Amino acid sequence: MFSCTLNTFAQEQPGKNHQVFINAKGGIYNHGGTPLGYIDKDNIVRNNKGEKLYFIDNSGNVVDASGKKLGKAKKNGDYFNINGVSVLNTKDLDAEKCAILDPQGHNLGTIHKNYKLHACAAHCFFLEQAKKKAGAKKLRS
């Protein structure tokens, strides 16, 4: 589950370690260029192993692989958490690219315009995955 609430951004400074990039072919990468997953031809987000992570239904609901609703994505790139609070949005940068912005206007990554619907949902999903992984490492230490 990911919530990607405003508190997430209030606790941490925005920066390169939070950036997600989606290229014109639907590849999703972190700030260092490491592949995180991809958006397939059926508009489903998958990890590098091809496992389904989430999809966006016809109503804009972001639904994880187990069927749990995680939030809502709008066609203009706005993303709302399950409580209806606006979490992230997009802004056109040029003819092909959009920026992913937090509510304070900090740039958290860029995406190709073809994937505007997935921009903020993908950012939140992979940010939460990174946080869980970091938390698990701390517990093992």
Boundaries of every domain in the chain:
6-133
- Helix or strand holding residue 28 (H, E): strand 27-30
Residue-level pLDDT at 15: 43
Q: What is the pLDDT along the chain (141 residues), one digit of tens a residue?
A: 444 433 333 333 344 455 778 888 999 988 888 999 999 988 899 999 999 999 999 999 999 999 999 899 988 888 898 899 988 888 999 988 888 888 898 888 888 888 888 777 877 777 777 777 777 666 665
